[in-house]
């Protein structure tokens, strides 16, 4: 029991980018805002994704009334399959957000057992003591909302991810008037996106990239490979509009890009002229100057469509000398090495590469508010208390300082994952902590969840052992010097027949890989790991830790 105090309990997203998840509690009722994931750092071997530790929610599962989703990005919905495996509660989201969620839950065979409830911007609904109104905001994804939550002690506004775009491509503008209304009525607490707190001024509209992209389309004489985040429906729409204007057919390549574009078409966010789309297998049937390939893989993911095309290992995406590759995205910190490796391969194919290097012009805009938009929201809502969310600690600290120095809020407070903050109508204070942290996931199974990476590795080693494929490569010639070896420990008793077949799997992967793939250690290691994992699981139902090793001589 909370004795007449509202509790704010962040479980993820405060102190890091990703795995956004926050609980609001009044007595015996809890609502959860977002259920995101984050992608692991490179040293987390064998980990596919990271989700928040929800021990607190599991311990209080009978009090959780539902999960409210602000929008459909992975750092806000990606943890749902693992959280819903522990909590059977309704999930609320806008139409587009729930369409993304449906695909995710269907993949994990959880769709039929999950209650999905659409919430409409401007519509109000009640969960226990909470009355929730979604408010239309703009972001890099469509159909995003902030949440105004009426509680027994006052109104809490959670902005979700936002920027103030008054002329977005879909015409569904940021609802400044609704925020102003709440400001006049009185807001107890504002929880606001801190991502771009280091950027002065305003974030440009999504439309602002169109003139520069139009110029690139005009100058491109051969095929144009256009890559953006697969969730960037606005960018996808602008690219397809320009392709139509410039007489180019469009082929969509990459699973995430295909799925996103299909959802956007079904819900009316992409209006594609008849005859514009072609099957990827038809690219060669058209003159290069009449084709645009919309392709996924802006962050250099080893097995993405663009990464494979860059090393000439994609069935349909063939990059020829003189083709143009446009990366209409930012470089996410931590992905620099992977992205620049792909760019190097593209240059080796004699492609023209345009990316956000500071000289390309406006080919990408952020989906997050800059300082003046953050200040505008604080002035509109005039909250009594302010807590920054969505950012590293330095972002939260700076955002709190900006809010406090405006002279509008009584108190701006920085909190982190696991902190418990209690509010009354007149007071806010930290009162304790709950269990919080990161849970590492091997996404091959919703059941493969562990609370600590060391425990996970120890369990793998003790139960399933490990397999180490070893390649010996001449660092001067780049050639594989001898047949690969496979070493195992604690795995099926070292069955010589199975190990020999595993070695053949590795050898076959090498034979089927191009010279460029073999030269890219990140790509070839990932291919070997995937092929070997697939073979071992099929033949043994075991899940050993697979760690490819390359020895240079």
Find all residues with CB under 8 Å of 434, minimum gap 6, and list them: 9, 11, 55, 56, 418, 420
Alpha-helical regions (H) of 226-370: 233-245, 255-266, 305-310, 336-348
Task: Output the pLDDT for position 389.
Answer: 98
Structural domains in the chain, CATH included, are: 6-201+366-440 (3.60.15.10), 206-354 (3.40.50.10710), 452-552 (3.10.20.580)
In 27-162, beta strands by DSSP E:
29-33, 49-52, 64-68, 91-93, 116-118, 125-127, 130-137, 144-151, 154-158
177 catalytic per annotation: no
368 catalytic per annotation: yes
How many Cα neighbours within 13 Å face the side chain of 436?
Answer: 22
Task: Output the pLDDT for position 538.
Answer: 85
**Binding residue numbers:** 46, 48, 71, 73, 75-76, 139, 161, 364-368, 390, 442
Which letter does DSSP use for residue 62 in this model? G
Write down the pTM of the prediction. Answer: 0.82
**Other CB atoms within 10 Å distance of the CB of residue 334:** 13
Q: Which of these, 108, 56, 112, lies nearest to 77 by C-alpha position?
A: 108
Catalytic residue (one of 345, 368, 395, 399): 368
DSSP letters spanning 209-235: GHHHHHHHHHH--S-EEEE--TT-HHH
**Binding residue numbers for substrate:** 364-368
**Binding residue numbers for Ca(2+):** 46, 48, 442
For 409, the 3-state DSSP assignment is coil
**Binding residue numbers for Zn(2+):** 71, 73, 75-76, 139, 161, 390
C-beta of residue 421 within 8 angstroms of C-beta of residue 431: yes
Catalytic residue (one of 53, 165, 175, 193): 193
Instruction: Locate 507 and state its tokens.
Output: 């050898």
Task: Output the pLDDT for position 517.
Answer: 83
Q: Is 228 left (phi over 0), alpha (psi -120 to 50) or beta?
A: beta
Distance, in Å, from the CA atom of 174 to the CA atom of 167, rounded to the nearest integer, reads 8
pLDDT along the chain (553 residues), means of 10: 82 94 98 92 64 95 98 95 94 98 93 97 97 98 98 98 95 96 98 97 96 98 96 96 98 96 95 96 97 95 92 94 96 83 96 92 96 98 98 96 97 98 97 91 52 53 77 80 83 73 90 83 88 87 84 84
């Amino acid at each position: 029991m909370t004795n007449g105090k509202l509790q704010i309990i962040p479980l993820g997203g405060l102190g890091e980018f990703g795995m956004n998840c926050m609980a609001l509690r009044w007595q015996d009722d809890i609502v959860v805002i977002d259920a995101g994931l984050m992608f692991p750092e490179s040293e987390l071997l064998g980990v596919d994704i990271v989700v928040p530790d929800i021990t607190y929610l599991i311990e209080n599962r009978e009090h959780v009334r539902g999960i409210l989703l602000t929008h459909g990005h992975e750092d806000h919905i990606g943890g749902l399959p693992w959280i819903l495996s522990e909590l059977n509660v309704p999930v609320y989201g806008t139409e587009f957000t729930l369409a993304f969620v449906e695909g995710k839950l269907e993949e994990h065979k959880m769709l039929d057992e999950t209650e999905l409830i659409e919430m409409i911007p401007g519509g109000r609904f009640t969960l226990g003591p909470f009355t929730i109104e979604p408010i239309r905001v703009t972001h890099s994804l469509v159909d995003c909302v902030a949440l105004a939550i009426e509680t027994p002690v006052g109104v809490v506004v959670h902005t979700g991810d936002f920027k103030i775009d008054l002329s977005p491509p879909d015409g569904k503008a940021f609802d400044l008037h609704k925020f102003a209304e709440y400001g006049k009525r009185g807001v107890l607490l504002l929880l606001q996106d801190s991502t771009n707190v280091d950027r002065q001024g305003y974030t440009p509209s999504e439309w602002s990239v169109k003139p520069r992209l139009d110029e690139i389309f005009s100058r491109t004489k051969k095929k144009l490979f256009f890559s953006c985040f697969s969730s960037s429906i606005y960018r996808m729409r602008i690219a397809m509009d320009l392709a139509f204007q410039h007489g180019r057919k469009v082929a969509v390549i990459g699973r995430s890009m295909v799925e996103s574009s299909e959802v956007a078409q079904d819900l009316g966010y992409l209006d594609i002229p008849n005859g514009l789309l072609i099957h990827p297998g038809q690219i060669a049937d058209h003159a290069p100057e009449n084709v645009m390939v919309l392709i996924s893989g802006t962050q250099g993911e080893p097995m993405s469509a663009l990464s494979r095309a860059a090393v000439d290992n994609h069935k349909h995406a063939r990059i020829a000398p003189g083709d143009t590759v446009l990366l209409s995205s930012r470089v996410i910190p931590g992905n620099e090495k992977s992205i620049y490796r792909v760019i190097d391969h593209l240059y080796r194919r004699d492609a023209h590469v345009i990316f956000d290097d500071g000289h390309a012009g406006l080919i990408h805009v952020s989906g997050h508010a800059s300082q003046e938009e953050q200040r505008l929201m604080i002035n509109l809502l005039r909250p009594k208390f302010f807590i920054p969310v969505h950012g590293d600690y330095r972002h939260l600290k700076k955002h709190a300082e900006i809010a406090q120095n405006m002279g509008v809020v009584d108190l701006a407070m920085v909190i982190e994952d696991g902190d418990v903050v209690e509010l009354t109508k007149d007071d806010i204070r930290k009162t304790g902590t709950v269990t919080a942290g990161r849970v590492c996931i091997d996404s091959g199974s919703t059941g493969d969840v562990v609370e600590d990476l060391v425990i996970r590795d120890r369990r793998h080693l003790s139960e399933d052992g490990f397999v180490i494929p070893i390649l010996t490569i001449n660092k001067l010639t780049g050639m594989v010097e001898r047949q690969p070896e496979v070493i195992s420990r604690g795995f099926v008793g070292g069955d010589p027949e199975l190990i020999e077949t595993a070695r053949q799997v590795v050898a076959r992967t090498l034979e089927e890989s191009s010279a460029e793939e073999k030269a890219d250690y990140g790509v070839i290691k990932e291919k070997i790991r995937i092929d070997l994992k697939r073979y071992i699981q099929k033949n043994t139902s075991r899940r050993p830790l697979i760690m490819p090793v390359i020895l240079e001589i």
